[in-house]
Copies of this chain bind each other. A is one copy, B any other.
Amino acid sequence: MKAAILCVGTELLFGQTVNTNATYISRQLQLLGFDVLYHHVVGDNPIRLERLIDICFEDCDLIITTGGLGPTEDDLTKEVIAKFVGDELVYDEVSLAGMKKYFSDTHRQMTKNNLKQALFPSKGKIFPNNVGTAPGFLSENDGKYIIALPGPPREMTTMFEKEIIPYLSERENAVLYYKIIRTYGIGESVLETVLMPLIHGQTDPTIATYAKEGECSLRVTSKRGTIEESKSAVEDMMVKIRNLIGEYIYSEDDEDMAEVLVKELNEKNLQLSSAESCTGGLFAGRITGVAGASKMFGRGYVTYSIESKVEDLGVDNLLIEKYSVVSGEVASEMAVKALEKSGSDVAVSVTGVAGPSDEGDIPAGKIYLGISWKDDRGNVKTKVQLMNSGRHDRKKNREYAVLAMMHMVLKLVRSL
């Protein structure tokens, strides 16, 4: 079943608001087993709107529109749809009564132009709106159909959840199942090359790769006769994928790396602390962004200057003078000192040049990561990792360092 999403609204074309409606509806439709072929955004122009509806119906079985159901002159979605499917607009008494009540409940004046919001295609099915004035509706079109929803995101998502999902689930008998795998440490083109035996000529399940900042995700989808068959097909494919790239997988449930880290440290009752130089607090900020972090994270040091490394952490000034502040030795020492001062089970550190400029003969992107922990006998162990991207992008270097730090901790914790 193929679907298109058609958003009516000039504010979107002006670039004033981001189109979160299309994203939301897309995700919901995918879960219900629809193949979303198009997103369209068009202004309050009946000719262009009608044209797009026509084009969408050539390829798609379902069109979902948002917007254009308001009381103003520019709101034309209903009129255009009714004309397209060859229906006429009539007053729906239930909606009219509901609207009058909504206005009196919220102590607001109902104006004459609100009346048009109670007009509907005579053969249409109406979906009530409990958080706004414009009900949605559905019109049939020769076995295909079009659903019109209000534009304001909260009204649209409420109606979608309460009315549209149940309606579509029943009408379409959805049997799609999918999993999203998150990987770290492998680039998208290498990933695709390694998975090519599974991807090439694929029919069902399908594997789609997509790169996000510094990471890669995989979506494995199956649409079979029953949900059990779909699930089984995906699980079989997951086994094959693990065989090829298992070492790079950090989540099989589309979880953020920080969420996975906080969850696993809490499960193992481990404490983490941090000592950050060039990432300047972003690592600690990322970890503490996860609800439940306070159980595994108590303190972080942002030792941005050399004085701070010496005074707040207790790093030996002579070590810095000997090896330079951007070195494996200093990264290691920062992690060890953070471990000792905080009493945590694991401590992670970072020192480097984020950019955009190089620092003397140290190139931008040269960043040392350190990690420190105690082994079974209580001995302090450390490990150091070097990133040397050659990149002059301050934001990217810091973000990728935070990602790498989280991954170092995760790998260590999974080995303990």
Contacts and interface: CB of A to CB of B under 8 A. Distances in A.
Interface of A: 7, 10-20, 22-30, 36-43, 45, 48, 51-52, 55, 59, 70-73, 105-109, 111, 113-114, 131, 152, 154, 187-190, 192-193, 208-211, 217, 219, 274, 276, 278-285, 287-289, 291, 293-294, 297-305, 307-308, 311-312, 341-342, 355-357, 388-391, 393-396, 398
Contacts of A36: 13-15
A42 B48 contact: no
A154 B209 CA distance: 19
A71 B285 contact: no
Contacts of A311: 341
A179 to B, nearest CB: 13
A15 to B, nearest CB: 3
Task: Identify the 9 closest CB pairs spanning chains A and B, nearest first.
Answer: A280-B288, A15-B27, A281-B281, A15-B26, A281-B284, A300-B302, A298-B305, A39-B41, A299-B308
6 contacts: A13-B38, A14-B36, A39-B39, A39-B40, A40-B41, A300-B304
A190 B109 contact: yes
Given A189-B72, A284-B302, A304-B297, A15 B11 contact: no
A312 B208 CA distance: 48
A17 B13 contact: no
A281 B288 contact: yes
Contact of A209 (B72, B276, B285, B304): B72
